Copies of this chain bind each other. A is one copy, B any other.
Amino acid sequence: MVRAAVIGATGYAGAELVRILLSHPYAELAVITSRKYEGIAFSDVYPAMAGMTDLRCERFSEAAIAEAADVVFTALPHRASMSIVPGFVNRGKKVIDLSADFRFKDASLYEAWYETHQAKDLLRTAVYGLSEVYYNDIKCASLIGNPGCYPTSVLLPLLPLVKVPFVDLHDIIADSKSATSGAGRSVNLATQFCEVNEGLKAYKVAEHRHNPEMDEVLSRFSGSSVHITFTPHLVPMTRGILTTIYVGLKEAVSSEDIASRLDLFYRNKPFVRICGPGKLPNTMHVKGTNYCDIGFKIANHTRRLILVSAIDNLVKGAAGQAVQNMNIMFGFPETAGLDQVPFPI
């Protein structure tokens, strides 16, 4: 049994980590921290968990956590992560960071969109935790920059196709629709029930911080400089991201060609489901799961490929993928702790 710590356990991603780790067959949740709820039982913060765990939220202490845990999940806001991650790495712990702090290879790109980076040297060894794509690197990594929720929903459908010659890398648009838990548990007016319910809006159009994250990975993976157009939207739901991607095609392509490339890329990957012909994903089908469902349609009249992906933003988009990465790092079955049967509705 590997012993795990969750730093920042009471945010939505942190709580989802707690949920998954509590029933993980090879991990034991040893310690959780929360600045806001220090000393409070986790099940008092999330009463759904009553009877599941006696863990209390502790104050952060590098020494105590390093003593208690083999792997550390940091579910903190960016900046907060980079100040504590190096300590654990130096102590030889495996660290999986859910913030943006270790997702970028290019520190200047991070600094252009976030702020001064205080642990730049770690960017070289940190591995981008898109489990299906960087599997081999993750295996050997000691620090994972766990992908953003939007990038996960954009990159999984897109990466299998960015090296094929008929795809126009300069003509890619991703239109994402996210449930409200993506905004986290911090309290603000824009995510009050009455400000979200029966509303639908775009935000941070073409200026969301996940855009450069996608661009860097797409560029690295394809070997070309890629800049995509990305628009996030907020939808009155609790969980789920649906992303619709428009890809320019340089020539006519058949559905079979696309399907076989996706199938091949994700052969033996347990968490990517390619929808059959004529079918498309729905966030309802992945709710509470670590799946990324991918469907597509070719628009012949405009020579575009339209990819659609669905994930649960808190699972495959955050905590689930983090645990998947832990599984890969520790040699556990990739699906350990993540294989519960989905809800029909």
Contacts and interface: CB of A to CB of B under 8 A. Distances in A.
Contacts of A229: 246, 299, 302, 304, 306
A30 B89 CA distance: 49
A198 B284 contact: yes
Contacts of A78: none
A74 interface: no
Contacts of A275: 47
Contact of A194 (B19, B238, B270): B238
Contacts of A302: 170, 173, 206, 227-229
A325 B178 CA distance: 36
Contacts of A252: none
Interface stretch (A10-18, A92-100, A143-151): A10-18
Nearest to A53: B341
B344 A46 contact: yes
A246 B193 contact: no
Chain A at the B interface: mostly helix, strand, loop or mixed? mixed
Interface residues of A, number: 88
A196 B20 CA distance: 23
Given A177-B200, A198-B198, A198-B240, A282 B206 contact: no
A180 B205 contact: no
Nearest to A205: B297
Contact of A345 (B18, B195, B236, B240): B195
Contact of A233 (B16, B50, B177, B189): B177
Given A199-B284, A200-B242, A341 B19 contact: yes
Contacts of A237: 197-200, 236
A339 B193 CA distance: 28
7 contacts: A15-B344, A187-B192, A192-B193, A193-B195, A200-B237, A201-B283, A205-B280
Interface of A: 12, 15-16, 18-20, 22-23, 46-52, 170-171, 173, 175, 177, 179-181, 185, 187-189, 191-203, 205-207, 227-229, 231, 233, 235-240, 242, 244, 246, 270, 273, 275, 279-289, 293, 297-299, 301-302, 304, 306, 308, 310, 339-345
